[in-house]
Amino acid sequence: MKAAVYRGPHRIKIEEMPEPEASGRKVLVKFSAGSICGTDMHLYRGDWRWMKKGIILGHDACGVREDTGERVVMVPIVNCGRCYFCLRGLPTYCIKGKFYGLTRDGFFAEFKAMLPRSLIPLPSGVTDEEGAVMEPVALALRVLDLLSPNTQDWVTIVGQGPIGLLMTKIAALKGCRVIAVDLEDYRLELAQKYGADAVVNAQREDTVKAVRELTKRGSDLVIEAAGTMRTVEQTPFLVRKAGKVALVGESKGYLNLEDADEALFFTVYISPVEYPLAVELIAKKAVDVKGLITHRFRLEEFEKALKTLEDPQEKPLKVVITR
Ligand SMILES: [Zn+2]
Ligand SMILES: [Zn+2]
């Protein structure tokens, strides 16, 4: 079967790989569609050198169960259910946990063997393309639940890529006032469609000043979703006293917390438990992931898809890979 294999930075190739088998309790899932995530781009650029070579990429995808013919979303984290973290309701940190597309072979392949408990049925009203963009919705739900905003709280969301835009949408659903920050106007225009009350173009405006002016006392909540050192280091100056800051994804940087009186800072990366709710919200048309899809490629064109994501001229958001 064809699969997108990691061979090192800038060396991700479509290769012929052995087909997995439906052994034990696992069932075969035939790939329908998947989307490329910021994590995949970190690997492509060589930011994460610990990644083992020869692993099949992909952790956000849907397919068809070979045994039942059911359309399903594949959940990329498998947990044991018995360890310290699992027993505390924190399956993301399972000691024996496997992460498909990172520590184990992922979903950008014609077939994947999966445990049925890691498969979420897709309702008929949800397309394959929509089923391919589930991980950032689940993450946005998790982050907003952790922040537990009050109605009309100010939430500043730095970075309006696919993850930031979905945070904007979920924060708006929760009744927050959202300030969306990005360097690109096309992303900020979409942020307004996704429910942002105010937008700040950080290329033209001083983000801290703009946020302080809008909120008077600083933002009640801050979500850092751009993943740069500069934006991480900016967060203590955006949050109000005793506010909360979620650092999503890459969170390298030095936090000067001198003036961030009693603010709460935390990191969050992924969440396997919100997948069913993510599917439900998309099915109900409460969250639009289709609007994030800017490019579509076939599995054979995987390298072209990566290059497109690297090219700002293409104005990429979500790039979807189909069979
Ligand atoms: Zn991801
Ligand atoms: Zn566990």
**Each residue's pLDDT tens digit, 3-45:** 999 999 999 999 999 999 998 999 999 999 999 999 999 999 9
Task: Return all residues near 233 (Cβ < 8 A) that are at least 6 apart.
Answer: 253, 254, 255, 256
**Mean pLDDT score, 116-136:** 97
Confidence of residue 252 (pLDDT cuts 50, 70, 90): confident
**Mean pLDDT score, 234-250:** 94
Domain spans of the chain, in order of start: 2-134+289-322, 137-268
Q: Which residues keep their CB under 5 angstroms from ion ligand 1?
A: 37, 39, 135
**Each residue's pLDDT tens digit, 82-95:** 999 999 988 889 99
Strands ordered across the beta sheet of 219-224:
198-201, 177-182, 154-158, 219-224, 239-248, 264-268
Percentage of the chain exceeding pLDDT 90: 90
Distance (Å, whole) CA 90 – CA 195: 30
CA of 252 to the centre of ligand 2 (A): 27
137-268, CATH topology level: Rossmann fold (3.40.50)
Q: What is the pLDDT at residue 100?
A: 96
Distance (Å, whole) CA 262 – CA 15: 52
Q: CATH 3.90.180.10: does it fit domain 2-134+289-322?
A: yes
CA of 136 to the centre of ligand 1 (A): 7
Taking the CA of 84 as reference, the closest ligand is 2
Phi, psi of 122, deg, nearest 5: -95, 125
- Mean model confidence pLDDT for the chain: 95
Distance (Å, whole) CA 177 – CA 182: 17
* Max CA separation in the chain (angstroms): 60
CA of 99 to the centre of ligand 2 (A): 12
**Each residue's pLDDT tens digit, 279-310:** 999 999 999 999 999 999 999 999 999 999 99
Q: Which residue has the tokens 């650029």?
A: 45
CA of 113 to the centre of ligand 2 (A): 20
Q: Which residues pair with 150 in a beta bridge?
A: none
User: Residue 99 is encoded by which pair of tokens?
Assistant: 């992460």
Confidence of residue 249 (pLDDT cuts 50, 70, 90): confident
Taking the CA of 107 as reference, the closest ligand is 1
SS (H, E, C) 25-41: CCEEEEEEEEECCHHHH
Q: Is 40 exposed, middle or buried (0-12, 13-18, 19+ CB in 10 A)?
A: buried
Strands (E), 79-197: 98-99, 111-114, 119-121, 154-158, 177-182
CA of 72 to the centre of ligand 1 (A): 18
Taking the CA of 93 as reference, the closest ligand is 2
Q: What is the pLDDT at residue 49?
A: 82
